[in-house]
């Protein structure tokens, strides 16, 4: 089967083609324009999606060497995400599906992030645990099958990606925060500043990152001038450590509680090298998997792949609802 996937939930305009579980082409156009505002501006995001969607979809078809007539389905992210941004992608997909006479599927962005791991690891088997870490979500899922998910815990306030983004803004490093903090942290002493790690010692699988951000703000305010050079590296490394340590420690708790020996990491923050290294170092009795970075951050491949999976494996369960839901909650 051949499925076109369209992703426009936030600031990436993306399209990809999945055929028989293999990604033939994946095209991502990142909206760099938001960096000048220090964060994603919803209206600007919708306008940029409108500008680039046709080109991105066309490029994914061209690079795959296929035409619209070869498609069996078109899948588009219907939530969670920004209302206007989601609407742009879903309306585009619906129009294209109507014109070509193929089925149109509404995909849950979080579910697609989880399933990106199957693109990288086709032999991945259920059940497994998933640490889902993105700009809007920080959750640990037990995944028992397609459509069978159990939420083991999540953040009470900010998401891990949000903590990176807000931290970068406080340090004057730009947007998105994850990659710039990761870069600034290289060579820094991660024990230089003792930032708080909420719930680290509690038995509950939950997260909180808003105190961490405030702690960084207070730390920077006390300095005579913003940190630069080695001291910036030290602060960035300590801040990064405070985020990734608590993520890994809660994932370890989930492994111990469930006895499941395979843990995958998904979402934009899963691109973080320190998170990847620490997870493998700490979870020694467990296989720790993560997709290559372009499959962690938002992309159309995960949407196309999951759409095809529904079409093939579970046609009765196909997500045919195309209503856009900005705060869509994945459930099993
Ligand atoms: O999954 P994603 O691309 O979009 C959402 O669904 O939110 O995740 C975006 C988030 C941003 O907060 C960004 O700062 C973070 O992922 N991120 C990273 C890295 N690359 C992206 N965080 C830490 N380290 C990275 N290398
Ligand atoms: Zn995402």
Length of the chain: 332
Q: What is the DSSP letter of 8?
A: -
Mean pLDDT by 10 residues, the chain (332 residues): 98 98 97 87 95 98 98 98 98 98 98 98 98 98 98 98 97 94 98 96 95 98 95 98 98 98 98 98 97 98 98 93 98 84
Q: How far is the CA of 5 from the centre of ligand 1 (A)?
A: 20
Residues 6+ away with beta carbon under 8 Å from 192: 234, 235, 237, 238
Q: Is the pTM of this model over 0.85?
A: yes
Spacing of C-alpha 139 from chain mean position: 11
Instruction: List, edge to edge, every strand of the sheet that includes 287-289.
Output: 148-154, 138-145, 128-133, 262-266, 287-289
pLDDT at 39: 84
Residue bearing the CA closest to ligand 1, atom 10: 135
pLDDT at 255: 98
Query: Which of 178, 248, 278, when mutated, tests ligand 1's pocket best, judged by the most ligand atoms within 8 Å of its CB?
Result: 178
Q: Using the atom order of ligand 1, give the atom closest to the CA of residue 109.
A: 6
How far CA 104 is from CA of 82, 182, 304, in Å, comes to: 20, 38, 11
Q: Using the atom order of ligand 1, give the atom closest to the CA of residue 137.
A: 7
Identify the H or E element spanning 152: strand 148-154
- Chain position carrying tokens 């509690």: 202
Name the H helices within the chain: 42-64, 83-100, 109-120, 160-170, 177-185, 210-222, 229-258, 273-282, 293-296, 301-313
């Amino acid at each position: 089967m051949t499925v076109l996937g369209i992703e426009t939930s936030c600031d990436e305009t993306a399209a990809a083609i999945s055929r028989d579980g293999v990604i033939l082409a994946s095209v991502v156009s990142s909206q760099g324009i938001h960096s000048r505002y220090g964060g994603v501006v919803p209206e600007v995001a919708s306008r940029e999606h409108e500008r680039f969607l046709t080109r991105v979809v066309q490029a994914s078809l061209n690079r795959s060497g296929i035409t619209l007539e070869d498609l069996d389905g078109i899948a588009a992210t219907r939530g969670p995400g920004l209302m206007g941004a989601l609407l742009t992608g879903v309306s585009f997909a619906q129009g294209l599906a109507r014109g070509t006479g193929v089925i149109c599927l509404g995909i849950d962005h979080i579910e697609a992030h989880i399933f990106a791991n199957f693109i990288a690891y086709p032999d991945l088997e259920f059940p497994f645990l998933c640490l889902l870490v993105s700009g809007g979500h920080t959750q640990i899922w037990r995944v028992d099958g397609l459509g069978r998910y159990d939420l083991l815990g999540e953040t009470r306030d900010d998401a891990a990606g949000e903590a990176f983004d807000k931290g970068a803004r406080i340090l004057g490093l730009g947007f998105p925060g994850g990659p710039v903090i990761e870069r600034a942290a290289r060579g820094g002493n991660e024990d230089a500043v003792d930032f708080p790690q909420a719930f680290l010692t509690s038995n509950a699988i939950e997260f909180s990152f808003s105190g961490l951000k405030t702690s960084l703000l207070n730390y920077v305010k006390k300095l005579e001038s913003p940190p630069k050079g080695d001291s910036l590296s030290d602060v960035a490394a300590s801040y990064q450590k405070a985020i990734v340590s608590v993520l890994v420690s809660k994932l370890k708790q989930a492994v111990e509680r469930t006895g499941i020996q395979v843990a995958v990491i998904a979402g934009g923050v899963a691109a973080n090298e320190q998170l990847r290294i620490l997870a493998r170092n700490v979870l020694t009795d467990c296989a720790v998997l993560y997709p290559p970075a372009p499959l962690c951050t938002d992309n159309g491949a995960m949407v196309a792949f999951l759409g095809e999976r529904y079409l093939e494996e579970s046609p009765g369960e196909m997500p045919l609802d195309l209503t856009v839901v900005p705060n869509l909650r994945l459930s099993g």
